[in-house]
Amino acid sequence: MSPRFVPRPLPMPRPQPVRIALLAAVALALVVASSAFASPASKVVAKETQSEALGHTVLTRTNGHTLYSLSVETNGRFVCTGGCLGTWKPLVVPRGVKPKGPVKLGTIRRPDGKTQVTFKGRPLYSFDGDAKPGEANGEGFKDVGTWHAAVVASASTTPAPPQAEPTPYPY
């Protein structure tokens, strides 16, 4: 008589270190890919303040220093480069950060590769000659163009208070 064959259960395979590492790499790739498609981070970089000297509401850095734009910097053309940047400091944000403020802000890539904040399509700068918050010493400064504070609203454009309506009834 021949011995009867009885199958034994196979042992469970143990996870191999290579397989675990491969699964971890795939999971990491999925996390990185999903964050790449997430909305960009945002950062408050500007506020607005009433400039008594100018009679306008202007944009400032969050530290209160007035922001300016150069009249000839339009349509992606940069004039303030090199030595100009010693006096006029660009308002920049890290790549991928969306600037926020009291008004709609945008960005543009500078010739040096940095991302500069814009208002109404114009790059924004602060002036080295403004020592204290609220100063606007750069207003009207002329070199290769004219520097102007980034005006949000003019005192003359603010609506007048409503007038009392006449009543049809006698007093």
Helix (H, G, I), strand (E, B) or coil at 70: strand
Mean per-residue pLDDT, 133-156? 90
Q: In the predicted model, is pLDDT for residue 35 greater than 90?
A: no
Q: In the predicted model, is pLDDT for residue 74 greater than 60?
A: yes
pLDDT digits (tens, 9 = 90+) for 93-135: 999 999 999 999 999 999 999 999 999 999 999 999 999 999 9
Q: In the predicted model, is pLDDT for residue 158 greater than 70?
A: no
pTM higher than the cut 0.85: no
Which CA distances in Å does 86 have to 71, 82, 90, 119, 127? 18, 8, 10, 21, 9
What region does 143 belong to: left with phi over 0, alpha with psi -120 to 50, or beta?
alpha
Per the CB < 8 A criterion, the answer to whether 67 and 152 are in contact is no
What region does 18 belong to: left with phi over 0, alpha with psi -120 to 50, or beta?
alpha
Q: In the predicted model, is pLDDT for residue 169 greater than 60?
A: no
| Mean pLDDT for the chain overall | 84
pLDDT of res. 141: 95
Local confidence band at 25 (pLDDT 50, 70, 90 cut-offs): confident
Mean per-residue pLDDT, 59-78? 96
pLDDT of res. 156: 53
Length of the chain: 171
All residues at 6 or more sequence positions from 50 whose CB lies less than 8 Å from its CB, including other chains: 56, 57, 155
Q: In the predicted model, is pLDDT for residue 157 greater than 70?
A: no
